[in-house]
Copies of this chain bind each other. A is one copy, B any other.
Amino acid sequence: MAALLVCSHRGPVTYWRAGRRLLPRSVGPGGLVPVMTPVMRRFGGRWMFSSFSPEDREVARSSPGGRERDGFVLQVLDVPEAMHRGHYEVVSVEYLGRLFHYLFELARAPVFDRRFAAAWRDYARVNALYAEAILRAPGEDPVFVEDHHLMLVARDVRRLRPSFARPLLYFHHVPWCAPDYFALLPRPVRTEILSGILAHDGVAFHSRRWARAFLDCCDRFLPGAGVAEDTVEWEGRRVPVIAAPAAVDTTALAGSARSPQADRWAARLNRRAAGRHALVRVDRVDLWKNALRGFQAFELLLEQRRELAADVCFLAVLTPTRTWVPEYRRYQQACERAAERINERFGGRGRRAPVSLLLASDPRLPDHHRALGALRIADAVLVNPLFDGLNLVAKEAAVVSERDAVVVLSENAGAYEDLADGALGINPFDVEQTADALGRAVDMPARERRSRAATLKRAVRARTPERWVRDQLRAATGR
């Protein structure tokens, strides 16, 4: 099996200065890094990603060919700060991230004006930097372009070198939205994105549902595209469009979950639960992770069944994110207030607090062990995103749970297609239904818990990182 050339915007490390040396440090949780890391460990090859800081840029300049680490090459690309801002903060986060997650408040945003147009030029420039780096990279390994930060890379590769022959694959890690919502984009941008993605040899999503939405957009916005069930004919090429849900490396994960650090967290959180049912959530405080409605649902459960206030403990393990954006700060504060309110209403006066809100102290540091410790001791895990490409936590919970945790899972998470048979499905906007599902999880008899947990484990184990890569390659190359 060949190694891989992976291109993503965020890499697994960022660099920091230790005296005269620049050393790598693992980045925080979430996103595609936990999906790609086991893949790179298994296949090896080269991982290209953007510089996020002056130290990263220094490494990019001093080691333009990359540095080897853990059996593969890490190659940082030198993206100037201003270009990075337009590409990342404006286009990728403020526009595309909100677009694919249905997160605009449409009366006021998005506005496509000259500021967007300038940022879109930065977006295209960063994509072109990747294309140039790919063309300089040694070897004939297949190229995996990851996520919505890099949708124009393949177009530039083919423009710069029409004879480019390495397999070229695109994976979209976030949801894809319906045509009505995709149409918020300016017409030329719609075309650039769709045709840019179709410049690959294969296109993949975490779920059938997102793949179908992409096909619907091609059908509506690319006149002349021949859209079928799982291919698009475009400019004389036939591009497969498949669902290939990302997998967890169950062996490695079980190992991490048994590490001394995870052991310490499990013990500590166990003391906190103090014999009560442990209801756990593990998330970044991102607008689409839906922490707030999680608290509202727990509150409603306690309103309806006050006796549970003494029997259930809600461990909310949250990592702050984008705290420099006012809207994110307000959202986190709303979560903190909800937790306080629940504790005032249902705890206090000698009773224990029903909610433990565990906010990571430094959002830039990985806190995987804390998350794994919490998932190990969970009796129920709430995974209720508004819309989510996959949501790996749902799969991790199924693997590391020591108590046959019931997984209460949003039907809008990509992982739902794999886990529907074992999980309790909910509409994430329906707080009453979510409260009911949490109550059902608490009440569930041991036999049903075991059976559901076994179903979940089977579903998770049926997919491996290796299969994930091979499915994409097979679709694109027939091999």
Contacts and interface: CB of A to CB of B under 8 A. Distances in A.
Contacts of A186: 427, 429-430, 432-433
B429 A107 contact: no
Given A107-B386, A300-B114, A433 B187 contact: yes
Interface in A366-405: 386-387
A103 interface: yes
A349 B439 CA distance: 68
A65 to B, nearest CB: 41
A184 interface: yes
Given A103-B107, A107-B288, A113-B300, A213 B180 contact: yes
Interface of A: 101-103, 105-108, 110-114, 117, 177-181, 183-187, 213, 287-288, 290, 292-293, 296, 300, 331, 334, 386-387, 411-412, 427, 429-433
A186 B108 CA distance: 27
22 contacts: A101-B106, A102-B106, A103-B106, A103-B107, A106-B288, A107-B386, A110-B429, A111-B431, A112-B427, A112-B429, A112-B430, A112-B431, A112-B432, A112-B433, A113-B296, A113-B300, A114-B432, A180-B181, A180-B412, A184-B429, A185-B429, A186-B430
B184 A113 contact: no
Among A180, A213, A293: residue with most chain B CB under 10 A: A180
Contacts of A187: 427, 430, 433
A385 to B, nearest CB: 11
Contacts of A103: 105-107
B117 A432 contact: yes
Nearest to A291: B107
B300 A111 contact: no
Nearest to A190: B427
Contacts of A185: 427, 429
Contacts of A431: 111-113
Nearest to A177: B180
Contacts of A296: 111, 113
A212 to B, nearest CB: 10
A304 to B, nearest CB: 9
A111 B178 contact: no
B183 A287 contact: no
A433 B430 CA distance: 38
Among A106, A292, A386, A427: residue with most chain B CB under 10 A: A106
A106 B102 CA distance: 7
Nearest to A105: B105
A427 B117 CA distance: 15
Contacts of A331: 107
Given A178-B181, A180-B213, A181-B178, A432 B107 contact: no
Nearest to A112: B430
Given A186-B432, A427-B186, A432-B186, A181 B111 contact: no
Nearest to A425: B187
Contacts of A114: 300, 432
